[in-house]
Amino acid sequence: MKYLFYPGCTQDGSALEYKISTLAVLEALGAEIEEIEDWTCCGASAASVMSGLLGVVLPARNLALAEQVLGENDGYDVLAICSACYTNLRRTSEAVADDPALLKKINQALEVEGLIYHGTAQTRHLMDVLANDFDLEAIKERVKRPLEGLTVASYYGCQTVRPLSPFDDDQRPTSMVAIIEALGATVHRHNREASCCGTSLQMTKPEVGIGMAASVLEACEPADCVAAVCPMCHMNLDSYQDKTVRMSGQSRRIPILFLPQLMGLAFGLPESEMMFERHVVSVKPMLQKLT
């Protein structure tokens, strides 16, 4: 398996541990990863509000860089690990697929960067890749330290499965279940698995955003930890958890892990590649439960 990796801004900043653990786990599973050189921001939720065209030109710039590497038919895909990057990159591919005029306009813009976008590069989410490109037996074989006795709440967030969900159900996703079980843990299913974490409302309208995060944490409460696959979800559930607890009266703190961190833990990969010390809510009580 080979992937052309689009890390996204947050993975070089507050969610560095997501990138490092993802690379470690994919390497352990035998995947080959190449980072797109000179990538820039996908525009997040902001660029397309400032300008509809900018909102597709910024993702297209990265896809054009990817296409330089991919050539015509190399048969491998762009890998995004942030759900907002994923949605922006895919939204752009889909928009040009049936709109040659838009593709032409995007290329008129990309001219100043010396790039041409053809609309051929395909983007996939880490959740899709982990659930569908690797045999479950291969994952099980890699497990050195089964997560027995641990209950993990699966959490997908919104844009992992909406509006584009080629690999899972957009209301009740299940991609994580078999993976978490293969690691030896028990899955806590709940009714907020694909609910919103509050995204940037945490900053712009905290009274609303924090309520959304609180309802997710409340649904996850019976578990020992939450498994997430998006840096925005992680930020809102982990970094903001002190604020959320103050508002909601939640009875205890719950650690939020990126799914690859959980996999790395079970694979027995070095803690330096999991970087649990970066989390705001301590992972220690959960780790102690394992030993």
Partner 1 sequence: MATSEPLHLTAVKRDPAFADRLSPDGRLLRRCIQCGTCTASCPASPAMDLSPRRMWRMVQLGLEEDVLCSKTMWLCSLCYQCQVRCPRGIPLTDTITRLKEMALKRKLAASQESAGFYRAFTDMIRRYGRNREMEFMVRYFLATNPLNALNYAGMGLTLFSRGKARPEFPRLGGEGRLDRLFERVAELEGRR
The residues that touch partner 1, with contacts defined as CB under 8 A, are 9-10, 12-14, 16, 40-41, 43-55, 57-58, 61, 95, 105, 108-113, 158-159, 162-163, 165, 170-171, 195-196, 198-201, 203-205, 207-209, 212, 215, 239-240, 242-243, 277-280
State phi, psi for 257 to the nearest 5 degrees. Answer: -115, 150
Please report how close the Cβ of residue 49 comes to partner 1 at its closest, in angstroms.
5
Q: Report the residue number, 49 or 178, with the smaller CB distance to partner 1.
A: 49
151 within 8 A of 185, measured Cβ to Cβ: yes
Coil, helix or strand at residue 124: strand
Q: Report the residue number, 11 or 154, with the smaller CB distance to partner 1.
A: 11
Q: Report the residue number, 66 or 212, with the smaller CB distance to partner 1.
A: 212
Please report how close the Cβ of residue 29 comes to partner 1 at its closest, in angstroms.
27
Please report how close the Cβ of residue 21 comes to partner 1 at its closest, in angstroms.
14
Please report how close the Cβ of residue 196 comes to partner 1 at its closest, in angstroms.
4
List of long-range contacts for 287-290, beta carbons under 8 Å, 24+ apart: 289/149, 289/150, 289/224, 290/145, 290/147, 290/148, 290/149, 290/150, 290/265
Please report how close the Cβ of residue 75 comes to partner 1 at its closest, in angstroms.
29
250 within 8 A of 114, measured Cβ to Cβ: no
Say how far apart CA 228 and CA 231 lie, in whole Å.
Answer: 8
Q: Report the residue number, 53 or 290, with the smaller CB distance to partner 1.
A: 53
Please report how close the Cβ of residue 13 comes to partner 1 at its closest, in angstroms.
5
Please give the torsion angle defined by the CA atoms of residues 103, 108, 113 and 119, in that order, rounded to the nearest 10 degrees: 10
Say how far apart CA 284 and CA 274 lie, in whole Å.
Answer: 13
Q: Report the residue number, 132 or 171, with the smaller CB distance to partner 1.
A: 171
Provide the β-strand partners of residue 152: 187, 225
Say how far apart CA 119 and CA 108 lie, in whole Å.
Answer: 14
Q: Report the residue number, 5 or 240, with the smaller CB distance to partner 1.
A: 240
